[in-house]
Amino acid sequence: MGTYDTQLVREFYQGLVNHAHLTLHIRQLAGINSHHIIEASFKAFARALKGAIASIRGGGAPSPVPKGFCSFGQPVLANIAIRKTLKT
């Protein structure tokens, strides 16, 4: 990852969930390449967030654990729950 401090990824997610009132679980299922693991975590998070927002906007009850999965040889799973109502 060059000079990028990979520990900042955790700090990014921590700040995001604290301020957006989200519950987020990201699991690395396999892999050792930090670049691909980080890339897959962001894509899995985006898919999970999209599912959570779509379930709220659909008028139904929010899905308790929308899931996103992304694999680039480095499978990552993200689960997300929104803890407060989003303003649309």
Cβ burial, residue 18 (10 Å; 0-12/13-18/19+) = exposed
Q: Which residues lie closer than 8 Å to 28 by C-beta, 6 or more apart? A: 37, 41, 74, 75, 76
Percent of the chain with pLDDT over 70: 64
Q: Quick one: average pLDDT of 50-61?
A: 70
pLDDT score of 12 = 92
Q: Quick one: average pLDDT of 55-64?
A: 60
9-43 per-position pLDDT tens digit: 989 999 988 888 778 888 888 878 888 888 888 88
